[in-house]
Structure 1
Amino acid sequence: MAYYIADGWRAAVATAGIVSILYAGVFYRYVRNTPQGATYFSPKKLGPMEVTSKGDFILYIIMTMPIFIAMAIICWRLSPSGVALLSETTTYLIMAGLGAWFIISSINSYRFNKDNLKNGVLELHRYKFKQVALLDLAYMVTFGSEVAVVSMFPLLFTTEYGYSPAKAAVLAGFFMAMNLVARPAGGYLSDKIGRKKTLMLTVVLSSVGYLGLSQINPGWNFWSIAIIVVFCSFFVQAGAGATFGVVPTIKRRLTGQIAGMTGSYGNVGAAGFLLVNSFFSSTIFFTVICLSCAVVSVMIFFFLDEPKGKIAEIMPDGSVQLIDVS
């Protein structure tokens, strides 16, 4: 639509907006918080994420830093040093605001978790925040790299490869279209063969896919490039699905917050990888993502715990329910 009619991009964006609004109504009408008969567990109180040990609190603060750094990168890209949509004064004010926001957020997180840090938490109700941190990193190199690649693909293939806009859009479309199959497949395999194994395998093969993309050049024919694109895309998006296959197994009442933080790391990855693309060639861009995937896969292998056994949640009547996560 965006290519074949006048002002097609406006029509495409408007159509997407209309469909989204209509689907929002359908979703609200028919989707439940939980399956029929299941209990909906929510955080004990609203606020920052609950952690259950001092080490986890430190790791939580460390893992919130890249989120603010990503926003600072976007601000810098809009500053006079980038596309000049923001004035220098506005840029400094936003940067200062982000710094203050991080400090206030950290203080509020400490206040929120003060009792847990001072008095401790029963072993039954503890969870390991490292699980969340590893999922953040996995989503950063999967969905984050996907957003970055789709953003730069059209310009790469039109300027460096001499493809027409339609032909370049086809390759970008190949990368996105795999999402329809690959992301559900990642979740399905996570259920069937194990969550850690699936996540590690998909991230490793994503690294292989990006290694392949780092080798392409204008001398390659279209279909050879397309095969590499489809291979890489499948495992990148399967990795994103496998990441969210682990999220509900960590702490049921915090699932929404864990999912939100994990999802935010997609933006962290996109901002970071596109920053690399701004300064270096596409070969280096793909190589950086390849190495990032490799490093994260090693971290998953050594530090991610395979979900097993049961997690405990408190029912509305005060009783404890054990939920099987194996």
Structure 2
Amino acid sequence: MSETHIVDDSRKLRLLNFADQKIRMLHLTWFAFFLTFVIWFAHAPLLIHIKEALDLTTAQVKALLILNVAITIPARIVVGMLVDRYGPRIIYSSLLFISALLCIGFAFANTYEALALFRFLLGFVGAGFVIGIRMVGEWFPHHQVGTAEGIYGGWGNFGSAAGAMLLPTIALMFGGENGWRYAIVSIGVVSAIYSLVFYKFARNTPKGSVYFKPKKSGGMVVTSWRAFWALILMNIPMYLALAMLAWRLSPAGVNLFSDNMMYLMWVLLAVLFVVQTQQIWRVNIEHLRAGVPEVDRYSFKQVGILNIAYFATFGSELAVISMLPLYFLETFEGLSAVEAGLLASGFAFMNLVSRPMGGWFSDTFGRRKSMLFLIAGLAVGYFLMGLMDSYWWIPMAVLVTMACSFFVQAGEGAVFAIVPLIKRSMTGQIAGMAGAYGNVGAVVYLTVLSYVDYSTFFYVISASAAVGLIAVAFLNDPKGHIVEVGEDGTVHRIAVG
């Protein structure tokens, strides 16, 4: 039995020490994620120009926003499987290059149908996050992995805010009625070039380390019958979220397609659920019947709890970011649209420090303890946001909002500080499922918002976070070692706590 670890006793990451290969890998990887977020939300700051250029209706614009996230839920599951099987180097390079082509296609679309198709397909780029989680987990030891994953997630997530600042300026530099097209093309070109850079310089693992792959592909491998049934149950909310998205695109929502098309999509989702369940059965039935050796076991309970936590953290972040500018504009008299947007932008800007801090908390003070503290903080934060009204002093409202966003994003960092410590060979799939649950949360929260007022919306998030807090109370701190078996049969012990 061999001991697989990375020797580094310091918890502090020296981010400017480019002589350290793992630091170089971290910078390579967070910038790849940064680019995927710029591409994913490149349309958002340019929507006014896109609307004018193609003479779109308000309903068509809303449909584009929904289409942008529709495919991300299944994409994160699929990409998680691919990265576990083939490694992050080839999968991230491929994703960046394919996304670049789709981005350029969107920029030159001249009909709404083409625009909608490319926007729908570009939702796949939102799965890029999953790839880097496995990559960073391979390079950093357990006492640094939370901080490293937080930097990866926080700095990469900033791509949406950076795009919002840079792309309108680039469009103005090009000028003319097609300036927005060239701005979007420019980020596509950068992504294509960077895909080659990433492929040339990135490595899946440190020299001498083994890249562990799942023994079977086509579905998540579980190690007990209880976990098998839990996995089936946890897939259901993802299909329900996709069904909700179809409903929002029907006449009951933005009227992109007919009721009959919505029913057809519901039937298709039901069929896909049956097919996926059969795949999970096929992948797991043999070893579950034979009995899983102790060395191969892992706790699926950990996965389920992290799914619930990410539902409340990232799900609420996506939902709140999309409504916060309008909330400030409608709640506080005297604010202009620009001022409301600037005040609301602080929620996303906190990612730069909040996610890394959440990961650092997890590395320093313990996984479970940090999660409990951060989830409790966001539950209180959203409750206070529910109390806000037009009588509040605006600086106080902004302070409460920023404090809440810290707990939300630090909670996200704490979730992915644990993901690489559950089962190394399945980190991509575990990250994919947790990431998908974040998108499910956004769909659910935004659907709730369409029926209730702003205060009730914040109270609902707070209540769901309280449920998440109860779940996190049952989380186990990763301790000792996890065991992986190489393709040659060699047993490796990997320190996780």
Shared topology, TM-score over 0.5? yes
1:205 aligns with 377
- Given candidates 240, 245, 249, the residue that maps to 1:69 is 240
- CA drift at 1:124: 1.5
In structure 1, what is the equivalent of residue 323 of structure 2? 152
- Structure 2 match to 1:315: 486
Q: SS of 1:322's equivalent?
A: strand
User: How far apart in 2 are the matches of 1:278 and 1:75?
Assistant: 15
Q: Which letter maps to 1:69?
A: L
Alpha-carbon separation, structure 2, partners of 1:200 and 1:15:
43
Q: How does 1:264-279 map to 2 (within 5 A)?
A: 264-279=436-451
Q: Secondary structure at the match of 2:387?
A: coil
Matches within 5 A, 1:126-205: 126-162=297-333, 163-205=335-377
Equivalent runs, 1:1-326 vs 2, <5 Å: 1=165, 17=188, 19-162=190-333, 163-301=335-473, 303-326=474-497
Secondary structure of the structure 2 residue equivalent to 1:214 = helix
Shift of 1:221: 2.7
Q: How far 1:23 sits from its partner (Å)?
A: 4.2
The TM-score with structure 2 as length reference comes to 0.62
Runs of 4 or more above 6 Å deviation: 6-12
Q: Distance in 1 between matches of 2:180 and 2:331?
A: 23
Which secondary structure does the structure 2 equivalent of 1:279 belong to? coil
Q: Residue 92 of structure 1 aligns to a residue in which SS?
A: helix
Change (3 A) 1:164 1:278: same
Alpha carbons of structure 1 residues 227 and 29: separation in structure 2 relative to 1, 3 Å: farther
Gaps of 5+ in 2: 1-164
Moved more, 49-58 or 30-39: 30-39
Q: Are the counterparts in 1 of residues 329 and 340 from structure 2 also a CA contact under 8 Å?
A: yes
Distance in 1, matches of 2:312 and 2:250, equals 26
Percent identity for Structure 1 against Structure 2: 45
Amino acid at match of 1:84: N
Moved more, 32-41 or 195-204: 32-41
What is the identity, as a one-letter code, of the residue corresponding to 2:422?
I
Output one character per residue of 1:182-241: Cα deviation in whole Å (capped at 9) or x when no partner.
Answer: 111111221111111111211111111111111111222321111011101111001001
**TM (normalized to structure 1)?**
0.94
Counterpart residue type for residue 316 of structure 2: S
- Change beyond 3 A, Cα 1:103–1:76: same
CA distance in structure 2 between the aligned counterparts of 1:200 and 1:31, rounded to whole angstroms = 35
Any unmatched runs of 5+ in structure 1?
A: none
Secondary structure of the structure 1 residue equivalent to 2:467: helix
Deviations 1:257-297 (A, max 9, x none): 00111100111000000011000011011001111111111
| Whole-angstrom distance in 2 between the partners of 1:269 and 1:205 | 18
- State the alpha-carbon separation in 2 of the partners of residues 29 and 228 from structure 1: 45
Q: Secondary structure at 1:192's aligned position in 2?
A: helix
| Greater mean deviation of Cα atoms: 186-195 or 280-289 | 186-195
Shift of 1:35: 2.6
Higher alpha-carbon deviation: 260-269 or 153-162: 153-162
**Could you tell which deviates more after superposition, 237-246 or 26-35?**
26-35
Find the aligned partners of 2:441 and 2:359 in 1 and give their Cα distance. Answer: 21
Q: Provide closer, same or farther for how the CA distance between residues 283 and 22 of structure 1 changes in structure 2, counting only shifts above 3 A.
A: farther
Shift, 1:16, TM fit: 5.2
Cα 1:11/1:260, change in 2 over 3 Å: same
CA distance in 1, matches of 2:379, 2:467: 9
The Cα of 1:104 is off from its aligned counterpart by: 1.3
Q: Determine the C-alpha separation between the residues in 2 that align with 1:262 and 1:312.
A: 22
Q: CA 1:62–1:17 in 2, change beyond 3 Å: closer, same or farther?
A: same
Alignment correspondent of 2:44: none
Aligned residues: 325
Equivalent position SS for 2:378: helix
Q: 1:33 Cα deviation (Å)?
A: 1.4
**CA, structure 1 residues 140+13, in 2 after alignment: closer, same or farther (shift >3 Å)?**
farther
Q: Secondary structure at the match of 1:46?
A: coil
Structure-2 change in CA distance of 1:108 and 1:32 (3 Å): same
Residue identity in the other structure for 2:394: F
